[in-house]
Amino acid sequence: MKIAVVGAGSWGTALALVLARKGLRTTLWCRRRELEEEIKETRQNSYYLPQIHIPPQVTPTSDLEEAVRGCQVVVLSVPSQAVRELGRRLKQALPGDILLVNTAKGLEVESLKRLSQVLQEEGWKRIAVLSGPSHAEEVARGLPTTVVTASENLKDAEHVQDIFMEASFRVYTSSDVIGVELGGALKNVIALATGIAEGLGLGDNARAALMTRGIAEMARLGVAMGARATTFAGLSGIGDLIVTCTSRYSRNRRAGILLGQGRSLEEVISSTRMVIEGIRTTVAARSLAHRYGVRMPITEEVYQVLYGGKAPAKSVADLMGRPRTHEMEPGVW
């Protein structure tokens, strides 16, 4: 079997390494020719995954058609706002029965659609998503990781499970595509919130409160959109939330810390060449909350800090001063 990984960022490169460990022929599409040449010459991706050896089973290329030629499965690992464009380009280069595995975690801001919906609009019929607590830096080193793959066709989810599952990378299956996609997207918003609290020096209690109430509002929106609440108690929900809110590798947590320390949004964005998915996802999540009439107070406050010029400390005070309510909501859990 030949598999193409489209996107040579940290996550795409790490997934290519998982496939290489299984002995699968893997091409890795690089957006920049310079990155292709670096990997060929040094067998490293120094910016995204420094000091990680890329074995010869992984063939880098900056030619998209060459990358996917003869592939049975294509793994899409690009920023969420680039999914539509790459999905369209891939559809033109591939036959219709190819399985596409999307690993991006976000929502399309302009349409408010989940990424599998975006890909369906571009003509894809066989789509699976891969999500869960899985920082690329640890996956690349072969540290134990568990993820979940979801598809409307369970056989496709099981196929993805068989392709990726190996000694250090355990894969579960799910049929709840909506829940898995929303969990992977919305947890980035909550990670911004916990980072802001950390930047303000608010301690562990505040972080625990934001994570717990964060998963509640994630599930609240998910159920309104047709997901199963139990999915948010799994790997793509609370699992991914825990690692994104606590890990030193988390770009969203780091961005939140900078915001809490008083940095502007422009300064935070310019502090890294990598995409901070939660910044754009916050806009889409807030719009979806309004569309479905769902209360998402943490998301609202993150939005106000990012785009409304609100002081982070004032957002914390407003969250703490909300009217009293019952913890477990009927119709959600």
User: How confident is the model over 30-68, as pLDDT tens digits?
Assistant: 999 999 999 999 999 998 999 999 999 999 999 999 999
- The whole-number average pLDDT for the span 124-140 is 97
Predicted confidence at residue 254, as pLDDT, reads 97
Checking if the pLDDT of 250 tops 90, the result is yes
What's the chain's length in residues? 333
pLDDT at 181: 98
Nearest CA among 93, 156, 148, 158 for reference residue 123 = 93
Active site residues: 187
Q: How confident is the model at residue 300 (pLDDT cuts 50, 70, 90)?
A: very high
Superfamily of domain covering 2-175: NAD(P)-binding Rossmann-like Domain (3.40.50.720)
Asked whether the predicted pLDDT for residue 116 surpasses 90, the reply is yes
pTM: 0.96
Distance CA 130, CA 177 (A): 10
* 215-243 residue pLDDT tens: 999 999 999 999 999 999 999 999 999 99
Q: What is the mean pLDDT of the chain?
A: 96
Which pLDDT does position 90 carry in this prediction? 96
pLDDT category at 328 given cuts 50, 70, 90 is: confident
Sort 263 into a burial class: Cβ within 10 Å, 0-12 / 13-18 / 19+. Answer: middle
pLDDT of 96 over the 80 cut: no
Per-residue pLDDT at 1:
86
For residue 108, pLDDT beyond 90: yes
The fold of 178-320 is N-(1-d-carboxylethyl)-l-norvaline Dehydrogenase; domain 2 (1.10.1040)
Per-residue confidence band for 273, with pLDDT thresholds at 50, 70 and 90: confident
178-320 shares the fold of 2-175: no
Q: What per-residue confidence (pLDDT) applies to 95?
A: 81
pLDDT mean over 99-113: 98
223, 269 Cβ separation under 8 angstroms: no
Handedness of CA 19, 191, 269, 83 (dihedral sign): positive
The predicted-structure confidence for 147-198, as pLDDT tens digits, reads as follows 999 999 999 999 999 999 999 999 999 999 999 999 999 999 999 999 999 9
Extract the tokens encoding 276. 């901070």
Does the pLDDT value for residue 285 go beyond 90? Answer: yes
Domain ranges, ordered by start, for the chain: 2-175, 178-320
The answer, yes or no, to whether residue 211 has pLDDT greater than 80, is yes
**What is the enclosing helix (H) or strand (E) of 207?**
helix 203-224
For residue 310, CA distances in Å to 94, 317, 321, 329 come to 47, 12, 16, 29
For 43: left if phi > 0, alpha if psi spans -120 to 50, otherwise beta; the answer is left
For residue 14, the Cα-to-chain-centroid distance in whole angstroms is 14
Instruction: Read off the pLDDT band of 280 (50, 70, 90).
Output: very high
In this predicted structure, the answer to whether residue 333 has a pLDDT above a threshold of 80 is no
Closest C-alpha among 167, 179, 297 to residue 240 = 179
Residue 286 has pLDDT above 80, yes or no: yes
Residue 331 has pLDDT above 80, yes or no: no
Cross-strand pairs, 27? 4, 59
For helices 297-307 and 203-224, the axis angle rounded to 10 degrees is: 110
